[in-house]
Amino acid sequence: MPRFSVTRVAAAALLGLSALSSFAQSVPSEVRLAWAGGPRVWILGKIDGSFDKAFGTKTKWVQFASGADVLSLFAAKEIDIARFGSSPAAAGIARKLPIEVIGTPEIIATAERLIARDGITDLKGLEGKTVAYPANSTAQYAFEQAVKLAKVDRSKIKALSLKPAEIVAAWKRGDIDAAYVWGPFTQQLEASGGKQIYVTKDLQKHQVLVFNNFVVRKEFAEKHPELVTKFLRVVQDKVDQYKKDEEGSVQAIAKHLDIPADSVRSTLGGLEYPSLQEQLTPAFIGDEKTKSNSLITKAYKDSAEFLAGIGELRKQEVPVSYGPYINTTYLQRAAAAK
């Protein structure tokens, strides 16, 4: 082989090693995922280490109690990706947090419910009673929308903003008459005599969509776009695993979280799981061409306007459109990676 060819081959090899080294250095020491600690399908990836394997680095699971906590964690740069409710996400974007939506993996159907004491059989029966819900949550949004649509006199209902565990404690003390919250806390209220009188899925007939979303810190996504794509791919793999073996998934999550399998079964079964491809349609997020008029984009705007109406946001903070804050790039790449 001529000498100049050897030199070129050596140079190419060095460039290749340099590129590999650069890629290795681009992987962070850990990827920080925020989770609420309850039963969700993506926990299967925590159990079997799928996220660690896909990322090629350690996954740190940061637990939170409410959507407001997630916004604080994002503001402090203590998390990279979070799964939480659409209402607090809408608030965080309105308040100019440097975050963006990357997916809507769960449409809330029966996973969030209004549980009331005996004698209260419908929303009208809440007048003169005390109702609790987590502040700035999808549960609060669903409750307020339900009361409004049922034409209940909201001024006659006393509302308390409590974290889920505090709701259960308040219920057991007799401080509240009803609560809108998610599992496994709903099951705990039922175990103490509560009865379901409303579920979030009931709002869908009024074209009100309530959901959980995946949100990323923009700085992290810009530095590690490939990890964001891999994250979404693992989540879809776990959804597929759950759909293929629901009971096996329920048992694994129940054991991992040390909670009753019935609670896990009820919570997981109370969510609808649009696939990566489905999320890219206008019925959900849409793609780069259709997202500005998608149902999810409209739902964010509706949530933000609702929060402004109850004083949680200033009206001037609400974006004209949430389209610019939804990045479908990662969904598209993850969908194509199948």
pLDDT per residue as tens digits for the range 205-246: 998 899 999 999 999 999 999 999 999 999 999 999 999 999
Indicate the pLDDT class of residue 13, thresholds 50, 70 and 90: very low
Q: Do 226 and 84 share a structural domain?
A: yes
Report pLDDT for 203: 95
Report pLDDT for 136: 81
Q: Do 179 and 165 share a structural domain?
A: yes
Q: Do 222 and 303 share a structural domain?
A: yes
Q: Do 232 and 89 share a structural domain?
A: yes
Report pLDDT for 299: 95
Residues 6+ apart with CB under 8 A from 236: 275, 276, 334, 338
Q: Do 97 and 244 share a structural domain?
A: yes
Give the residue numbers spanning the domain of 221: 29-107+210-336
Please identify, among 186, 206, 226, the residue that sits at the C-terminal boundary of a domain. Answer: 206
The mean per-residue pLDDT over the stretch 162-178 comes to: 97
Entry pTM: 0.84
Report pLDDT for 131: 98
Report pLDDT for 310: 86
Report pLDDT for 135: 86
Compute the mean pLDDT over every residue in the chain, rounded to the nearest whole number. 92
Tokens 């709002």, residue located: 203
The mean per-residue pLDDT over the stretch 37-43 comes to: 95
Residue 31: is its pLDDT beyond 60? Answer: yes
Indicate the pLDDT class of residue 26, thresholds 50, 70 and 90: confident
Residue 24: is its pLDDT beyond 70? Answer: no
In a domain? residue 288: yes
For 214-236, b/e burial (b = at least 16 CB within 10 A) is bbbbeebbeebeebbbbbbbbbb
Among left, alpha and beta (phi > 0; psi -120 to 50; other), residue 151 is: left
Q: What is the CATH number of the domain that holds 245?
A: 3.40.190.10
- Distance from chain centroid for Cα 147: 24
Q: Do 318 and 267 share a structural domain?
A: yes
The mean per-residue pLDDT over the stretch 304-333 comes to: 95
User: Number of folded domains in the chain?
Assistant: 2
Distance CA 94, CA 317 (A): 5
In a domain? residue 5: no
The mean per-residue pLDDT over the stretch 182-200 comes to: 95
Residue 12: is its pLDDT beyond 90? Answer: no
Q: Do 165 and 263 share a structural domain?
A: no
The mean per-residue pLDDT over the stretch 262-291 comes to: 95
Report pLDDT for 337: 87
Residue 16: is its pLDDT beyond 70? Answer: no
Please identify, among 206, 234, 249, the residue that sits at the C-terminal boundary of a domain. Answer: 206
Q: Do 240 and 332 share a structural domain?
A: yes
Q: Are 220 and 80 in contact (CB under 8 A)?
A: yes
Q: Do 119 and 101 share a structural domain?
A: no
Distance CA 17, CA 21 (A): 6
Positions of E strands within 208-316: 211-217, 271-272
In a domain? residue 156: yes
pLDDT tens digits for range 43-82: 999 999 999 999 999 999 999 988 889 999 999 999 999 9
Q: Do 321 and 305 share a structural domain?
A: yes
pLDDT tens digits for range 124-155: 999 999 999 998 889 999 999 999 999 999 99
Q: Do 148 and 189 share a structural domain?
A: yes
Report pLDDT for 23: 44
pLDDT tens digits for range 95-121: 999 999 999 999 999 999 999 999 999
As to burial, measured by CB atoms within 10 angstroms (0-12 exposed, 13-18 middle, 19+ buried), residue 182 is buried
In a domain? residue 3: no
Q: Do 296 and 188 share a structural domain?
A: no
The mean per-residue pLDDT over the stretch 14-20 comes to: 44
Mean pLDDT check: name the lowest of 158-167, 172-181, 306-315. 306-315
Please identify, among 184, 206, 228, the residue that sits at the C-terminal boundary of a domain. Answer: 206
